[in-house]
Chain A
Amino acid sequence: MNKETLETLRPGMRGWKLWTLLAGVIVAVIIPHLLPRYYIHLLDLFLIGSLFALSFNILLGSTGLLSFNHAAYFGVGAYATALLMKNLGLHYFIAIPLSMAITGVIAAIIGYFCSRVVAMPFAILTLAFGELLFVISSKWYTLTRGDDGIQSVYPPSIIDSSAGFYYFTLIVVALATLAIWRILNSPFGYTLQCIRDNRQRSQSIGINVRHYQWMVFIVSGVFAGLAGSIFVTFNWSVAPTDLGVVKGGEPIIMTIVGGQYVFGGPIIGAAIFTFFQFFIGKITIYWALIIGIVLALVIRFMRGGIGGFIQKKVTARRQAQQSGV
């Protein structure tokens, strides 16, 4: 294909993308009026899961760091929001940014230690700190109400309907996704990829690897905290299991299945995880077993996850088109 043909194709491709985006927005807007309430809740769960997995993948896919208990920050965000609303009587919309700040501080303290190591020691250290937070949440009864968790954390009346809460979640997750995308495509984001690819080389061009690992730990924690803040009013409650190691496994599965090296990978993974959990959960209580099999198959046959697989196909097709095949 010669250059002129490519030039004429480009505006068409741009139009195609624009139409897809527009169609997506229209579907996203009218969908709560088409689906039964239960399915709208499912969409909320999917959106919250997407943000949680995207925040996790800032560490894994972009920086090469496997956090074994990212739910710690999800849980801190949820608990902070619940406590600020219940104990201090703050409005939900004020509690959210404050919770993000609190999660950021907790992530900064834990990240200070975790950023000193990499690979397996990093994973184990994140697991250890996660367990520490889990113990605090389940044993410090006067603050967290222990295993009972904090109940009756309702969203404000303006978003109290299922459609209202869905729109709220959609907007916050969309904005957060955009922010994460922007961060990953900034000089800071490029620097993270350098650290992922080659730590020695990064240092020799003047990057203080440990410092950046610390920074990204905080950034990733803050977004996980935001996901937790949305979750707590979705769920009307938060309990220690929301920051436990099982919860911490969710973004790992979502990201590996969806694809860690593709920006949208964790979103694909969150969709599969959430809808599998529901539809297969209706058939059998062993739905987690099916997810496990899917995970094993993806790891065996699709190293880059489903998102990676799709991207590879699209790239190959584009190259074939360009070379005129």
Chain B
Amino acid sequence: MILKIDGLTKNFGALKAVNDVSFGIDQGDLVALIGPNGAGKSTLFNVITGFLTPEAGKVIFNGEDITNLPPYRIAHKRIGVAFQVTNIFPGLTVFQNIQVALFASRGKTKNMFSLAPKMMKDDTSEVLETVRLSKMAQTPAASLPQPDKKRLELGIALASRPELLLLDEPTAGQSAEETFSTMELVKKINEEQGLTILFIEHKIPVVFGIAHRIIVLQYGSVIADGEPQSVRENKEVQKAYFGEKV
């Protein structure tokens, strides 16, 4: 088991955003985290990545307790994340966005004397190829169209050579076609690179199309956890989340 969430609780005042959540994720798995708005999905991600401190519970990654570590230390443990709201470096070019994530993952960011433009060009091109942004390499990231920004976000996460990839709504704001293409990409990364992926998604058909396993959150608690078929047939999920049969 690569990730183990054990009794995790995060409160915002009286609101229990994440309430005693426990689950584990196996190496190489492709797991979806779904639930209505406000179910606590993004909060859970923020606790795992160290941006929020939980009130109780533990996050165990590769057998090591990473709860309460600062985000940059968690990144060093090789957990990559792509955020819900596009989170890139707008002042850099597409190429530099990936390059700097590579520098960070290889511990090169303290180097003050080498010329950065000449470094790690092949690795950068490889990541750009994976996320299909090679043609936009020299474009300033700020001027990318929204779907490309989401792919760049994914590229930044991949460049940090993660063992676990957390994707918060990778297809947010994308058309049906773009959604399909992004999810194909996620599936490909999982299959070809054997990367463990936990992703949050609102587009239900997408989730059932690719996830090996689905975890359903509601009011901060896990109400279902299992293979797509069993989740689909789960009465509680149908009633509480979908409102009707899916």
**Interface set of A (CB-CB < 8 Å, partner B):** 182-183, 185-191, 193-194, 196-198, 200-209, 212, 215, 219, 261
Contacts and interface: CB of A to CB of B under 8 A. Distances in A.
A201 B112 CA distance: 21
A250 B113 CA distance: 29
A205 B91 contact: no
A185 B117 contact: yes
Interface in B202-229: none
Contacts of A207: 72, 104, 109
B100 interface: yes
Contact of B51 (A200, A205, A261): A200
Given A200-B51, A201-B156, A203-B75, A187 B89 contact: no
**Interface range, B side:** 35 or more
Interface in B49-106: 49-51, 70-72, 75-76, 81, 83, 87-92, 96, 99-101, 103-105
A194 B100 contact: yes
Interface of B: 49-51, 70-72, 75-76, 81, 83, 87-92, 96, 99-101, 103-105, 108-117, 119, 156, 159-160
Nearest to A182: B113
B89 A198 contact: yes
Contacts of B75: 203-206
B158 to A, nearest CB: 11
Nearest to B71: A203
Given A185-B117, A209-B72, A197 B91 contact: yes
A116 to B, nearest CB: 13
Given A197-B90, A212-B109, A191 B100 contact: yes
A206 B105 contact: yes
A204 B156 CA distance: 10
Nearest to B118: A185
